[in-house]
Amino acid sequence: MHKFTISTVGVALAIASFAAAAGNTATPRVDQREANQQARIDAGVASGQLTARELAGWLAADANRARGEFVLVLHASRSAPPEGESVHDTLLVPLLAALPLKQAVAVAAEIAGAPRNALYARALALRGARDDG
């Protein structure tokens, strides 16, 4: 009987230690990664449009900005369209050649995010110029 009690206690201890080990779901690397991500989110996001000259001033304004990471999205500067042309002409001209006026304006508005009224007026001017010329 004494051996049976010792065996039973041993099995119970083994099951208890296995359960404790299985219950320990600590994942230090994942936890640290999540903490780092949350810290980046809490640090806030600076967004806006800066010129190359303004960027240097923005970095110098806060010493913490030089630490860690930030993202810069660069794009080529757009030149002003020639006199009498709209910035949307490059979009409207091929659409007007392939689609009816209403559909061309709807597609251009969806792509450019510009007001339909302005695009419609420009499309009418382009169509009139094409019909006259």
Distance of CA 100 to the CA centre of its chain: 34
CA distance from start to end of the chain: 111
Domain ranges of the chain: 2-66, 89-132
- In this predicted structure, what is the pLDDT of residue 45? 45
For residues 50-55, average pLDDT: 70
Q: What is the pLDDT of residue 62?
A: 80
In this prediction, residue 69 has a pLDDT band, given cuts at 50, 70 and 90, of confident
Write out the two tokens for 95: 């659409």
Angle at 11 between CA 8 and CA 14, to 5 degrees: 150
- Identify the residue with better confidence: 80 or 59: 59
Query: What gap in Å lies between CA 61 and CA 12, rounded to an integer?
Result: 64
DSSP state letters, the chain:
-HHHHHHHHHHHHHHHHHHHHHH----HHHHHHHHHHHHHHHH----S---HHHHHHHHHH-GGGGSS-------PPPPPPPTT--TTHHHHHHHHHHS-HHHHHHHHHHHH---HHHHHHHHHHHHHHHHH-
pLDDT at residue 112, as a whole number: 87
Average pLDDT value for residue range 21-42: 70
For residues 119 and 16, which has the higher predicted lDDT (pLDDT)? 119
